[in-house]
Amino acid sequence: MAALVVYFSFEGNTKLIAKTIAETVGADLTELKTSKEYPKQGFQKFFWGGKSVLFGEKPELTNDPIDLSRYDTIILGTPVWAGSFAPPLKTFFSKYQITGKRIALFASHGGGGAKKCMATIKATIPNNDFIGEIDFQDPKKHPEENAAKAVEWAQKLL
Ligand SMILES: Cc1cc2nc3c(=O)[nH]c(=O)nc-3n(C[C@H](O)[C@H](O)[C@H](O)COP(=O)(O)O)c2cc1C
């Protein structure tokens, strides 16, 4: 299996899980980075982030081009934002044609919306084989427990 973990993380929760999964399955790891920073403080972060999901924004990415043809398996991670996936993934989906891959999904959240978020990803990139999905509640609050959960899940993807 040649696997790539692609993720966006605003506050480090999804990043923790992404790194753990990549180490477990021996995958390459790509963090999606945006040219503009979202505000990180208080109400502002929910306002700008939520607005950006609702308006279907596609923030510009600063990543080098990714050669997806090298991978048969893509493991996608996102925080849940307003019950959906974070906008940088929307940019990723519009830049790259993702078809015929084995796809596994993981999401970090504060308590709800992961099922809907992952269903929306599946509807956005339908022509793939979805091999697994899992969600984590604010993994940085319980890093060891959540890393162990990620390892157990990732091993089943191999
Ligand atoms: C703009 C914004 C919207 C969010 N919307 C939701 C939501 O709908 N449901 C939820 O459970 N958590 C929501 N959260 C919380 C994050 O999903 C959660 O804190 C997650 O662990 C953050 O992952 P990260 O550190 O990788 O960015 C939201 C956070 C932000 C910043």
- The number of C-alpha atoms within 13 Å of 148 and in the hemisphere containing its C-beta is 3
pLDDT score for 1 = 85
Low-confidence residues of the chain: pLDDT under 50:
none
pLDDT score for 98 = 98
For the four alpha carbons of 31, 110, 129 and 91, in that order, the dihedral sign comes to: negative
Test site for ligand 1: of 31, 33, 45, 81, most ligand atoms within 8 A of the Cβ = 81
Total-model pTM: 0.98
Ligand 1 centroid, distance to 149 Cα (angstroms): 19
CB count within 10 Å of CB 74 equals 23
Test site for ligand 1: of 32, 54, 109, most ligand atoms within 8 A of the Cβ = 109
Residues in a beta bridge with 137: 109
- List all residues whose CB is within 6 A of at least one atom of ligand 1: 9-15, 45-46, 49-50, 79-83, 108-113, 138
* C-alpha to C-alpha distances, 94 to 13, 87, 113, 131, 132, nearest whole angstrom: 24, 11, 23, 22, 22
Atom of ligand 1 nearest to the CA of 15: 26
Q: Hey, whose CA ends up nearest to atom 8 of ligand 1?
A: 82
Ligand 1 centroid, distance to 124 Cα (angstroms): 20
